[in-house]
Copies of this chain bind each other. A is one copy, B any other.
Amino acid sequence: MDYLPEIEKEIQRQIARLDEPHTTQLHEMLTYHLGWSGENADPKTRGKRLRPLFLLLTCSACDGDWRSALPAAAAVELVHNFSLIHDDIQDNSDKRRGRDTVWAKWGIPQAINAGDALFILSSQALFDLVPGYSHEIVARAAIILNDACLNLTRGQFLDIYYEKRKDLSIEDYWSMVSGKTAALLSACCALGSLLGNSDQATQDAYCSFGHYLGLAYQVHDDFLGIWGDSAVTGKSSQSDLVSGKYSLPIIYGLGKNGSFAKRWAEGPIHPDEVPGLADQLATEGARLFTQETADQMTDLAMQSLRIANPKGQAGEQLIEMARNLVNRES
């Protein structure tokens, strides 16, 4: 089943609420960010729409009618993009997928509005689930999405808050990534199973699946950020060692208080030092620890998925997508 064209159409339909004479530019900011308009707009600049795909596949794997769930699929993608627009302002990032970010193009004040608008549109989208679902189910969907959004903002807060701290523990790391990466993916799977009319135990299993998959994804991402091909060879400037990001292997290495921690304390790391320092970190056990943690989270995700018992072709696609997410090489 090719869900993507239907997802794209539904997001466009939701965004169209702002396609009015007075707010043409606000609408344009959103269509630009979503990869539909402006310079270099093409499918590659749109992102993979992973979250709506997880939602719809989960719905189908519960024998639900995925077409009725499309407004929720649009809602999760809108939430994701609200957070990206505000994130780019907060991180002072002027490029995303090779294009100028919204704030770089229209300024910070209007970029804040564009993010706010996307978030409101996501809330509105959910109510289009009526009349396909009862008001009670829609309310439960809204509660799931709101909880995820609050966790997302919590994670975003912690990410910035941690920048000034030097004594981060692995527990601090889990608090941050549970919000920043896992909360929305978990909500996608919870929403998909809710809208697939599955029972509470199945919903809980899908919710855990999304949560652990989100954690596994992030830990694997942290692994690639230091030992991935592009982080070591050629693009050392993109290594997490250079950006100074508190990723899992770095927090682990700092906790060891060895040569790596000593070098880290001395100040910013130059790209030339990256291969040597990545090796040092591996010698101190961070590579093995990160790999094992990613595997552990993947196992927990897959255990939850087995309990959820996804059905049919959608179930197979869901398993395959989850595997790709935690086995990717870049």
Contacts and interface: CB of A to CB of B under 8 A. Distances in A.
A119 B23 CA distance: 21
A328 interface: no
A90 to B, nearest CB: 4
A12 interface: no
Interface in A76-121: 86, 89-91, 108-110, 112-113, 115-117, 119-121
Interface in A37-83: none
A154 interface: yes
B135 A112 contact: no
A143 B127 contact: yes
A197 interface: no
A18 B153 CA distance: 10
A160 B109 contact: yes
A6 to B, nearest CB: 23
Contact of A146 (B120, B135, B138): B120
Contact of A124 (B23, B25, B112, B143): B143
A113 B160 contact: yes
A197 B316 CA distance: 49
Contact of A26 (B116, B143, B154): B154
A288 interface: no
A123 interface: yes
A110 B160 contact: yes
A158 B23 CA distance: 7
A108 to B, nearest CB: 7
Contacts of A136: 135
Contacts of A231: none
A22 interface: yes
B120 A153 contact: yes
Contact of A119 (B119, B124, B138, B161): B119
Contacts of A154: 18, 22-23, 26, 117
Interface string A116-155: 1101110110010010001110110011001101100110
Contacts of A124: 143, 146-147, 150
Given A135-B135, A139-B135, A22 B158 contact: yes
Contacts of A112: 86, 89-90, 112, 115
17 contacts: A17-B150, A22-B154, A26-B154, A86-B112, A89-B108, A89-B112, A110-B157, A117-B150, A117-B154, A123-B123, A123-B146, A124-B146, A124-B147, A127-B143, A135-B135, A135-B136, A135-B139
